[in-house]
Structure 1
Amino acid sequence: MTAYPSVTAVVPTRDRPELLRAAVRAIVGQDYPGQVETVVVYDQSEPDPSLAELSAADRPVRVVTNTRTPGLAGARNSGTMAATGELIAFCDDDDEWLPGKLAAQVDALNAVPGAEFVSCGIRVSYDGHTVERVLERDSISLADLLRDRMTELHPSTFLIRAAALRDGFGLVDEEIPGSYAEDYEFLLRAARSAPLVNLRTPYVLVRWHKRSYFAQRWDTISEALQWLLERYPEFATQPAGQARVTGQIAFARAASGDRRGAMRWARRTLRRNPREPRAYLALAVAGRVVRADAVLRTLHKRGRGI
């Protein structure tokens, strides 16, 4: 690989025209010596060919449509298969890369023999508040990810060797219900192949807001997390990590109004880890002590999720 290999940024989008343009401008504006191609993938929406006008020297912008499974996973994969870069980066349509991201990540990837994947820290913006989330570690293993989803490892921070995606650990899984947690499953599979490289600097602005792909889709969230537990039996080796996921399922059941399901999953969670807070939050929501949206607003202001 050359010192400054070509990069393709894959940007899935759906009904966010203004935020999308800000995301593309931030990619095109990266101070990086190599070519940076942007592939905008329209998912279940009408494409806007005028985005190509944002192109600059060595910064082509292309517009394509999702030709695979409808949803975020299929859109990411459509962009990956259309990409020409030696490296593939992801960016959500409501996020922005900060100056220096690509150059720093490529240098970090080149510095670690055998590395296939590099991430970085984030700045989370929600309801007028901004919080920095940075992992204080340089390498992330599969065991690390089984214990903790690590919010800092946001898809908009991912930079991956194209060969690893196409011929190694593979594309984003399109079988996950509703594409929910596709990024977490992708991280687990990538870490099975090789430890992930991480930069301790926030190079991406991540916006959390009510127009998320998954806002209020609690049944889909519950189904997807159960799928994840079945697909990764390794969770059984990390009781606290397994309890974290079952606690998320309990909360999703409570938020959807399924009180009995919430209590069942909360009990299962507490048997594995009596200190897992998501179980208690699920019981509080199921008992109508607090509303699920109030819990999420409080967590999001702190740069955290459920």
Structure 2
Amino acid sequence: MKKKTANLTVCLLLAIGIFMADTSTPLGIAVGALYILVVALSAVADSAVNIVALSLFCSGLLVSGLFLSPISAVPQSLVIANRCIFFILILLTGALGIYGQRMRQTLQARDAELVVANAKLELLALNDGLTGLNNRRGFDERLDAEWNRAMRDGAALSLIIIDVDLFKKYNDSFGHQAGDTCLVKIAQAIQLGFRRPGDFPARYGGEEFVVLLPETDLQGAWARAEAIRRKVESLEIAHPANPNGAFVTISLGVASAIPRANGHRGVAKLIEAADKALYDAKEAGRNRVAQASTDRGECGEQPSP
């Protein structure tokens, strides 16, 4: 606001000065051209230093013009006409300069709003709308990043794949709305079970969840998975069709590796190993944690718990 007021003051002072000078002389025309440059700068400059400097220079030329005016043999009527026209042009130019500055500030504000809106959209694109966890896309991006970081640091990277046991029968018994509520409760239990900043739980799709555990070996990942299994079981969500008891349970597959190969091949091997472990947990009767390890040639193995 102060900058706008200063620019407006400069415009008015110069307009009055040029109106008093003889603008029919070559010197007066030069002053007018410089004034237009001053206003143009006022519309784009972030500092008023250049504007003030040019204003002082123009003022000096105006003073000189007052002494040179009597020398020129120009009819008085033409002088007055030139003054009036030039005065109007000066005011219009000043108004356009201030308007341009306001428009620039408005566009900057809108650009900032667009940046915030785009950031929110990007966040929504990576989140699961039902559970509030990260979605499959967010998980894939994070897995690639953590794989590369673990390979660079020579650190272990573990993955847990979680599946809700007999979830289709749960939906058939209680309906899809109750199924959604069930998934939300399980997601909350998973999220509370992994509180380290690097832990990355996500909804993998349907009734499947995944958890990425940087700098965690197979033994540590197995212990975390077992704690989550017990936590979900303790929720005591009724599920009469579950042969392992009257409540909802989960099966978990755990895999761990020290990455030694870049690209999607090593990542795919880790997912494949965890998925195979999940299959083993289901085949063994569900409601349990099974572990696996990736091929040493691709990732390097971690010891079993």
Query: Would you say same fold, with TM above 0.5?
Result: no
TM-score by length of 2: 0.23
Relative to total residues, which structure has the larger helix share, 1 or 2?
A: 2
Relative to total residues, which structure has the larger strand share, 1 or 2?
A: 1
Q: Which has the larger radius of gyration?
A: 2
TM-score by length of 1: 0.23
